[in-house]
């Protein structure tokens, strides 16, 4: 218990902000995907930290974290597949150019 809970939360928040920044600013779709991974992991840190400091007797935090990791893996697979597919079709992975879903 050397490090208090707010520190963990600060790290997680920083990580989330970095991830969000990446998602919003990266032009490369893979970069956006990486940013999402960072945001997910920030959430994981929060889950684990809250479990450790608030309810150590229940396993919910850990289990949630494992779910998130699993889903993140699936999401990464699906996202990459979409990116590859988009690349094959449009010969680009720049998000600004993938703008057909508009008026």
Partner 1 sequence: MEFIFNLTPLIPLFPLLAFAIIVLFTHRHNRLSSSIAIGGIALSTALGWTLVLATILSGEHAWAEGWQLRVPWLPAGTTVLELGFAVDGFTAAMLFMVPFVCLMIFIYSQGYMKLGQPDQDPRYARFFAYISLFAAGMLGLVVARDLVLLFISWEVMGLCSYLLIGFWSFRKADSEHHIDAAQVVRARQAALKAFITTRIGDVLLFSGIALLYSYTGTLTFRELFRPETLETLQAISLLGMPAVTVIALLVFGGAVGKSAQFPLHVWLPDAMEGPTPVSALIHAATMVAAGVYLVARTLPLFIAGFVVADAPALHWVAVIGAITALLGATVGLAQDDIKRVLAYSTISQLGYMMMGLGLGSLVAGIFHLLTHAFFKALLFLSAGSVIHGVEHGAHIAAHNGHGHGEHFSPNDMKIMGGLRHRMPRTFVAYLAGALALVGIVPFAGFWSKDEILAEAFHLWRADGTLNLPFWVWLAGTLGAFFTALYMGRQLGLVFWGEPRHAAARHAHESPSSMTVPLIVLALFALLFGFVNAPFLGNPLHHLMGNVHEVSEVVHAEAIPFNPTVAGISTVLAVAGLLLGWSLYRNYRAGQVEPFQAALGPVFTVLRNKYYIDDLYQWAIIRPAVWLANFCFNIDDRWIIDPFVDLVGAAGRAASDIARVLDSGVIDRWFVEGTAQLFNAAGRWLRYSETGHVQNYLLVVAVTILLLLGLYLYF
Q: Which stretch binds partner 1 (CB under 8 A): 20-28, 47-55, 62-70, 71-79?
A: 20-28
Contact 95, 32 (CB under 8 A): yes
User: Which span sits near partner 1 by CB under 8 A: 4-12, 24-32, 41-49, 77-85?
Assistant: 24-32
The DSSP output letter for 54 is T
Q: Say how far apart CA 57 and CA 88 lie, in whole Å.
A: 50
The reply to whether 18 sits near partner 1 by the rule CB under 8 A is no
Residues between 66 and 95 that touch partner 1 (CB under 8 A)? 95
32 binds partner 1 (CB under 8 A): yes
Residue placing its CB nearer to partner 1 in the complex, 74 or 82: 82
Q: How many residues does the chain have?
A: 103
């Amino acid at each position: 218990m050397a490090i208090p809970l707010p520190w963990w939360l600060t790290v997680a928040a920083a990580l989330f902000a970095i991830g969000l920044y990446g998602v919003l600013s990266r032009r490369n779709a893979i970069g956006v995907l990486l940013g999402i991974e960072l945001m997910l992991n920030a959430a994981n840190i929060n889950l684990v930290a809250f479990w450790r400091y608030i309810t150590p007797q229940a396993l919910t935090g850990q289990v949630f974290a494992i779910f998130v990791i699993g889903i993140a893996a699936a999401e990464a697979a699906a996202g990459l597949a979409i990116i590859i597919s988009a690349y094959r079709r449009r010969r680009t992975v720049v998000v600004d150019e993938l703008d057909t879903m508009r008026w």
